[in-house]
Chains A and B, each alone.
Chain A
Amino acid sequence: MASLQERLNEFKKSFESGAPPYNAPREAIETMHRATAELKATGIVERALKVGDHAPGFTLFNQDHVQVNSADLLRQGPLVVSFFRGHW
């Protein structure tokens, strides 16, 4: 099975080709590249919490509107927390 990044790269290649099914205009692709470069330059990655930092606790609703508390999860074992910008 291809790695996640291989699959993502395949999608990116297809999208940035400008060909169907996405038909992304060259201008739009350049705009996206510019935004990514600018975001990198802000130093956001360097400012974010990193290895060795204390992870903030949280209580959030899951997809079934049930409250999930990070302290409850951590009592059971290590926790993988993946931040996802959305499906769109």
Chain B
Amino acid sequence: MELEALHEIHSEVRALGAQIVVITPELERYTRALHKKLNLSFDILTDLHLKVAEQFRLVFTLPDYLRELYKSFGSTLDRFNDEPEYRLPIPARYVIDKGSIIRAADLNADYTIRPEPSETLRQLRTLGGTAAD
């Protein structure tokens, strides 16, 4: 759902002179299928073993009891992410300016809450003149 919602704002993001990338620990064979299925116009980047998410300090380890529950649903991160330790990033969206400074950060420890794309657009607009130059 989140990727579809980002897809809906992508043309407006481009019109503001900005770009979107999605970073996920999922392996390329899954991102390729997902990208195709959703017909996305931005890239999904594979952050193998969460190296980049670690630098943004977003990584946590699923507790054992949750690991077992997900496995019972058929969600095995060893397979999707080559992540036998069952680590994941918390949902996070950043707006980064041309000088590599973070200008907006939407984070939540609750994975059922995701940053609103309309809010991301608003944040990009507040970068104002710097967005277009």
Contact = CB atoms under 8 A, between A and B. Distances in A.
Nearest to A22: B73
Contact of B65 (A31, A47, A86, A88): A31
Size band of the A side of the interface?
35 or more
Interface majority SS (helix, strand, loop, mixed), chain B:
mixed
Nearest to B89: A83
B17 A77 contact: yes
B66 A83 contact: no
Size band of the B side of the interface?
35 or more
Given A78-B95, A78-B98, A85 B21 contact: no
Interface majority SS (helix, strand, loop, mixed), chain A:
mixed
Contacts, number: 226
Given A5-B113, A57-B100, A28 B92 contact: no
B23 A80 contact: no
B43 A77 contact: no
A80 B95 contact: yes
Given A4-B114, A79-B21, A85-B24, 15 more contacts: A5-B116, A36-B111, A44-B57, A55-B96, A57-B100, A60-B47, A61-B45, A63-B32, A63-B36, A74-B96, A77-B98, A78-B95, A80-B13, A83-B91, A86-B25
Interface of B: 1-3, 5-6, 8, 13, 16-26, 28, 30-32, 34-36, 43-48, 52-53, 55-58, 60, 62-63, 65-66, 69, 75, 77, 80-81, 88-98, 100-105, 107-118, 120, 124, 127, 130-132
Interface of A: 1, 3-5, 7-9, 11-12, 28, 31-32, 35-36, 38-40, 42, 44-45, 47-58, 60-65, 68, 70, 73-88
